[in-house]
Amino acid sequence: MRLKRIDFILPWFLALTLLPLASIGQTEDWVKLWEVTVADIDKTATDGKGNVFITDKQGYLSQYNSKGEKINQLASSLSAPVTHLDPFNTVSLFLFSASLQRFEILDRFLNPIINKSIGETGVLGWVSHASPGNNNSLWVYDESDLKLKKINLSNNELLQAQSINTIIQKNDLDIVLLMERYNLVFLQVANDGMYIFDNQANLIDKIVLSTSKRAVIEDDFFYTVEGNEILKTNYLTKKAKLFPLPEGYSLDKLALSYQQLLLANKKKVVVFERPKDF
């Protein structure tokens, strides 16, 4: 009887042990919804409603709805490559051009609300990255003094300033992302890591990342494309999981909405159903 019981239990134990490894390699969960070809794709982003925003190298902005229908196209006043594209809520869109040292906020119909130069905010140095913050504020990385700064856009008051080179111990930083989410500020340095600050610009943590691809931040996670996989990292627990990219595509730009996952390269945007547990 004992031998029979072992023979019965062993296959089930092996099946349960191997199941998680098999599920990580599966790609049948990728269900393509739509795709579009666009010349010289530069930045991509999605909002909470599944609208997709695409900028090209000339700064032209296109908007598609969640079904892949093109609903807006705009030659923004920036007319230059967009360094940061952020539909930071469902009613407005933020664009920043480092080459022009200007930022613009558009409403959901892509009508301009705010168009300012960085100099108008009181920052006189050269800003490589800018991103909207809570309560009508603006985060910038000023390369002239290597400081992360928070500006009150209502009165151009400097609210916070943090010397980044004293934290990272480098003067020449290849920053690929600056973004505030959930009262935290995320600063991603290429092939180095994600630095996490509170909204007073105090460093909380660093998570090592060996990629130069811009991360996507959502809830307690950030997602990065690394080779042929997407790395999902919980920045609170530091636990990570890898998901294989869909086969047959060469895509390295990533954006997420609650129902959809967007992947892109310089010529094509492909939108999939968001896989389970992603």
Which residues on neighbouring strands pair with residue 36, listed in sequence order?
269
CA dist 217 → 10, 124, 239 (Å)? 42, 30, 15
- Distance from the first to the final alpha carbon of the chain: 44
pLDDT of residue 14: 36
What residue spans define the domains of the chain?
Answer: 213-278
pTM over 0.75: yes
CATH class of 213-278: mainly beta
Burial pattern 12-34, b for ≥16 Cβ within 10 A else e, equals eeeeeeeeeeeeeeeeebbeebe
Q: What is the pLDDT of residues 203-228, one digit of tens each?
A: 999 999 988 899 999 999 999 998 88
Q: What is the pLDDT of residues 35-91, one digit of tens each?
A: 999 999 999 999 988 899 999 988 899 999 999 999 988 876 677 889 999 997 778
